[in-house]
Amino acid sequence: MKFSFEFMLTFVYGTMILEPESNHYHHNRYVRMKIKTTLITVLLIPLLCSPLRAQIIFKQPLSQRVCNYDISVKLDPEKKILDGKEILKWKNPSKDNVKELQFHLYLNAFKNTNSTFMKESGGEHRGFGFNETKKESWGYVDVLSMKRIGGEDLTTKIKFIQPDDSNKDDQTVISVLLDKPVSPNEEIVLEIIFKSKLPRVFARTGFAGDYFLAGQWYPKIGVYEYPGIRYAEKGQWNCHQFHANSEFYADFAAYDVNITLPSNFIVGATGVLQSKINNKDGTSTHHYRAEDVIDFAWTASPYYKVVNDQWHDVKIKLMVQPEHFDQTERYIGSLKAALEYFDKNLGKYPYTTITVVDPPLNAIGSGGMEYPTFITGGTIWNLQEGLKLPERVTVHEFGHNYFMALLATNEFEEAFLDEGFNQYYETRIMDKYYGEKTSFINCFGFHAGDFEFSRQGYVGMRNPKLAEIYRKSWDYTVGGYGSFTYFKTAVMLKTLEGLVGLPTMDEIMKTYFERWKFKHPCVKDFIAIVNEVVNKNLGRKFGDNMNWFFDETLYGSDVCDYKLASIANIEKGRAKGLYDSSGVKKIYPDKKNDKPNYESHVVVHRLGEVKLPVEVLVHFDNGKEVLENWDGQARTVEYKYDGKSKVVWAKVDPSYKIPLDVNLINNTLTTEPENGVFDKYATQILFWVQNVMLSLSSLF
């Protein structure tokens, strides 16, 4: 059983551990109080029975729980500062003697324009309201002290490192050398005193007025990878800098977090609320516990409206802005749809809570974010039903709980394993629940499905060969991160689904999830499962394995484009003139009434470099249809047919199994064109040109 020492202190002494003058912690005061209070606490322990303890959530840990965080933090809402104390336990999971620890200090990404994040994002990410001339806009995290419990003071050993880009001004990762290494399976316990200044929200985390979204707010230890984890051949830290495109890769942990802030604030956080205690100084302390999660985030604002709901054993908490309250059902409905779909088609959501935060417009940069059991949505006042923004963002961010949080892939190095796989599921869920042609937008006759939109995100690129999917997130230096990581990956998986069939695809994904949850898989682990399941279900239909598919689509940057090049129906000539019959010259009879024979040719071209097996449907004028299977390898293929029927039309990939094909229009060809569609648009062009002219003339 886990017992939260900080929680108990807070409960017993309320404001005593707080500095009343300054309203935030002071380390020396902490130490003095700790001695005093520990004595009293020890005496009171027998009285403090189970209701005061942190409730254990899972009887059996779901993960390895390499770390254990016990954090007390106090928010100063005026200064936007978090004063915190973190007790970190880290158990060496490897067979190495670990001499160095590495931590993320991600709020330092917002310290100045020299951070790697700021340089990559150009100081603009997705929000607004950031005023660089105001001191309060910037954010940082300072480690005031770090010491090994019962051991050395490590504060002076802290040094900033830049493992990704050698940007010496970046302070988002620290290295701490230990004088005594941590042995295999040994647990090191650190006490870290830190001060975090939240930035004005313009990306992911921060404040806007008295709205707070605390993400990446505390010193978080990196992942020590050892042989057997991903690509590691020897033990080493995997602790990346904070980047514009990625921020998640951490080990599984249990968290006990006490958040103290003014009592008028409404709070939500990762995990399960254990207690809320009103202190004498007008503050409250909210104790949250989360287990088997890779991160902890929380939010606070006096203005939230809170809606509680439930899906099976999962408690849903929606924290919505008052002006968005009428969209409650949109959030809750889409969340339940996602819960149901993932549960049925990927795996069980193991946590007992999910909190959805609806940020205000002036902090929209913190919207659309994912943390374990805690996601942020995003909408605007009076949003049309036909614009599925809150639904999409809820489904998407919830899905991250499976890929970023439970599988816990490395977003820095293989972002597509999180964002792209999640995008694939987002499209499946949105299209199922909101319609294949309407799940993205459905307004004024303009409609689009979520998958349709995602596919355009890739095929609509000016240069879809710009990069390959398999690339480190910060290596998309000339753009394309979103298009490849999110959209091309989703289209690639949809194409794989088209080739192997939905049941096999579901089996692949379920196997991948069940086998690798809580274990940090990499893409080669996924491909191994694809090969295993495809071989089991489909034999050698696609060869020895499916590696070729990933070579073409994941590791390669070429495009797929098949084209129905031509259809020709050649009437076979009848013999004319004379022929010998028993020594008599006779003229060939004129069989005008006979239906002629035709030799029909259908030619398909492969314009792209990506080679995928593809079907070609050929339709004849007698209604007969032939489905050809082409391996798609050659540059061109020609199908010939002899008979009384002419080919009327033909279509490449008639079942739409290959959405990776960048041009679906050239997949079709008919010998009997209908020009109705062109007449329609010509008429519309005429009409709107006339309207434009009349409108311009009204300027005079």
Contact positions toward other proteins, by CB under 8 A? 128-129, 208-209, 323, 360-362, 380-382, 437, 445-449, 452-453, 455-456, 459-460, 649, 662-671, 673-687, 689-694, 696-700
Task: Name which of 447 and 515 has its Cβ closer to other proteins.
Answer: 447
Q: Shortest gap between Cβ of 386 and other proteins (angstroms)?
A: 13
Task: Name which of 263 and 671 has its Cβ closer to other proteins.
Answer: 671
Task: Name which of 60 and 675 has its Cβ closer to other proteins.
Answer: 675
For 678, phi then psi, to 5°, come to -75, -35
Q: Shortest gap between Cβ of 420 and other proteins (angstroms)?
A: 20
Task: Name which of 148 and 455 has its Cβ closer to other proteins.
Answer: 455
Name the amino acid, one letter, at 10.
Answer: T
- First vs last Cα of the chain: how many Å apart? 81
Q: Which residues contact 116 (CB under 8 A, 6 or more apart)?
A: 109, 162, 164, 165, 167, 170, 172, 241, 242, 243, 474
Q: Shortest gap between Cβ of 467 and other proteins (angstroms)?
A: 18
Q: Which of 416, 421, 420, 414 is nearest to 509 (CA)?
A: 421
Between the CA of residue 170 and those of 113, 163, 410, 483, what are the distances in Å?
10, 10, 20, 27
**Does residue 332 sit in helix, strand or coil?**
helix
Q: Shortest gap between Cβ of 619 and other proteins (angstroms)?
A: 10
Q: Shortest gap between Cβ of 687 and other proteins (angstroms)?
A: 4
Task: Name which of 358 and 552 has its Cβ closer to other proteins.
Answer: 358
Kind and range of the H or E element at 48? none
Task: Name which of 588 and 688 has its Cβ closer to other proteins.
Answer: 688
User: Do residues 205 and 198 lie in contact, with contact meaning Cβ atoms separated by under 8 Å?
Assistant: yes
For 263, phi then psi, to 5°, come to -65, -20
Length of the chain (residues): 700
What value, to the nearest 5°, has the Cα angle with vertex 667 and ends 665 and 672? 85
Q: Shortest gap between Cβ of 679 and other proteins (angstroms)?
A: 5
Q: Shortest gap between Cβ of 58 and other proteins (angstroms)?
A: 40
**What is the DSSP code string of 246-300?**
-------EEEEEEEEEETT-EEEESSEEEEEEE-TTSEEEEEEEEEEES---EEE
Task: Name which of 219 and 464 has its Cβ closer to other proteins.
Answer: 464
Task: Name which of 415 and 461 has its Cβ closer to other proteins.
Answer: 461
Q: Shortest gap between Cβ of 137 and other proteins (angstroms)?
A: 11
- Taking each continuous run of H as one helix and of E as one strand, the counts in the chain are 13, 33
Name the amino acid, one letter, at 410.
Answer: N
Between the CA of residue 4 and those of 24, 259, 286, what are the distances in Å?
20, 13, 13
Q: Identify the residue whose tokens are 């799940």.
A: 439
Q: Shortest gap between Cβ of 425 and other proteins (angstroms)?
A: 20
Task: Name which of 537 and 671 has its Cβ closer to other proteins.
Answer: 671
User: Do residues 185 and 89 lie in contact, with contact meaning Cβ atoms separated by under 8 Å?
Assistant: no
Q: Shortest gap between Cβ of 205 and other proteins (angstroms)?
A: 16
Task: Name which of 223 and 393 has its Cβ closer to other proteins.
Answer: 393
Task: Name which of 535 and 668 has its Cβ closer to other proteins.
Answer: 668
Task: Name which of 20 and 676 has its Cβ closer to other proteins.
Answer: 676
Q: Shortest gap between Cβ of 616 and other proteins (angstroms)?
A: 14
| Burial per residue of 542-565, b for 16 or more beta-carbon CB atoms within 10 angstroms, e otherwise | beebbbebbebbbeebebbbbbbb
Between the CA of residue 277 and those of 14, 56, 212, 274, 329, what are the distances in Å?
8, 19, 20, 10, 31
**What six digits make up the tokens of 606?**
């492969």
Task: Name which of 250 and 389 has its Cβ closer to other proteins.
Answer: 389
Q: Shortest gap between Cβ of 264 and other proteins (angstroms)?
A: 18
Q: Shortest gap between Cβ of 356 and other proteins (angstroms)?
A: 18
- Alpha helix stretches (DSSP H) within 352-501: 389-400, 419-434, 450-459, 481, 489-500
**What six digits make up the tokens of 528?**
């191994």
CA–chain centroid gap for 464, Å, is 21
**What six digits make up the tokens of 262?**
């003014």
